[in-house]
Amino acid sequence: MDFGPHLMLALLEGAVLAAVLALMASGLSLVFGVMRVVNVAHGEFYMLGAVVAWAVADLVGGGPAVGFIAALILAPLIVGGLAAAADMTILKRIDYDPERTIVATIGLLYVIQQLTLMGYGPEARPVAPPFNTRIALPWIEWGAGGPSVYFPWGLSTTSYKLFVIGAAAALILAIRLVLLHSKAGLVMRATQLDSEMATAFGIPVERVYAAVFGVGAGLAALAGVLIVPIQQAHYLMGGEALLLSFIVVIIGGLGSLTGTIVAAVLIGMSDGIISVFFSPTLAKILATLLVALVLVFRPQGLFGARER
């Protein structure tokens, strides 16, 4: 494959990864920003989103589009509700103590993973995409007789992949608008800035925490629903997604939504390009190296504010 088309394919693949990653990492970043909780079980909520999407699509029937739309609505609600319940029954009882929440969410990770294995099984199961047309992409070549358009072998994407990129962008924009311009967003930001003062002003901080934990998990689940027609729902799929999300939020700055999105695009695109032209393993090596460099030279992340 020529360099130009090859690069375009790499960018398209990278953009899909970046979109899903940005959505998922936003949830992780939101939970950390507001609650100061490092949620190690975040990857499992992503996995649950995919698994619930499969279950919903399987139960609803009535064609791929109906099943997918039902999953898109129900899966984040179910997973978010589950996470809010976990917050109220576990995290609240250990007073959101940083060390103990890490241990508790690790425990949650294994409980969710093994229950999924027991209930759903070890297979990777597919969900049919609502639409999936292969789109061959043209490329312009400057030959002797001026520019000419042709369709290079293998340069293609699918309409569903483009939809994932668009949907993730729209959802992230919606989160931003809610956080900046709604009462709920105001309450969340107030809790993030100073939870004691927020309590003094009559904000029910505990309920805000439960809601934020639920919304964070719901975002991961949404990412899971969006990816499941491309990949399949499998009980171990949360592991790598969690690692990449952590890489993204550390580089972007824990708690900073803008930083998370910039870092997701950076990591997603570089992963796409490096793994197409060199090797996927090198892409992972460079991403983790970047995390190490950020931690050494800019511990608050690229967009994070220093602790006051």
Q: State the residues that interact with other proteins by CB under 8 A.
A: 1, 6, 9-10, 13, 17, 64, 117, 121-126, 128-129, 132, 134, 136, 153-154, 156, 158, 229-232, 234-237, 240, 272, 275-276, 280-281
Check if the beta carbon of residue 222 is closer than 8 Å to that of residue 72. yes
Q: Least CB distance from residue 229 to other proteins, whole Å?
A: 8
Termini Cα distance of the chain: 52
Kindly state the smallest distance separating residue 156's Cβ from other proteins, in Å. Answer: 6
- To the nearest whole angstrom, how small is the minimum distance from the Cβ of residue 43 to other proteins? 13
Least Cα distance to 38 among 97, 111, 119 occurs for: 97
Contact criterion met (CB below 8 Å) for 106 and 90: no
Q: What are phi and psi of 261, to 5 degrees?
A: -70, -45
Q: Which is nearer to other proteins, 94 or 136 (CB)?
A: 136
- Cα–Cα nearest to 68, from 144, 132, 148, 3: 132
Cβ atoms of 175 and 222 within 8 Å: the answer is no
Q: Which is nearer to other proteins, 161 or 303 (CB)?
A: 161
- CB-nearer residue toward other proteins: 195 or 275: 275
Rounded CA-CA distance 207/148 in Å is: 61
DSSP code of 138?
A: P
Q: Are 217 and 27 in contact (CB under 8 A)?
A: yes
Q: Could you tell me the smallest distance in angstroms from the CB atom of residue 230 to other proteins?
A: 7
Minimal distance, residue 132 CB to other proteins, in Å: 7
Instruction: Give min distance, CB of 178 to other proteins, in A.
Output: 30
Whole-number minimum distance, CB 3 to other proteins, in Å?
10
Report the half-sphere exposure of 83 (CA within 13 A, side-chain side).
34
Beta-carbon-side half-sphere exposure of residue 170 (alpha carbons within 13 Å): 8
What is the CB neighbour count within 10 angstroms for residue 223? 29
Nearer to other proteins, 47 or 210 (CB): 47
Q: 218: Cβ–Cβ under 8 A, 6 or more apart, which residues?
A: 27, 45, 76, 77, 79, 80, 83
Comparing CA positions, the residue from 214, 210, 255, 194 lying closest to residue 32 is 255
Task: Name which of 112 and 175 has its Cβ closer to other proteins.
Answer: 112
Q: Which is nearer to other proteins, 69 or 230 (CB)?
A: 230
Beta carbon nearer to other proteins, 131 or 201: 131
User: Would you say 37 or 227 has its CB closer to other proteins?
Assistant: 227
SS3 301: coil
Minimum distance of other proteins from residue 235's CB (angstroms):
8
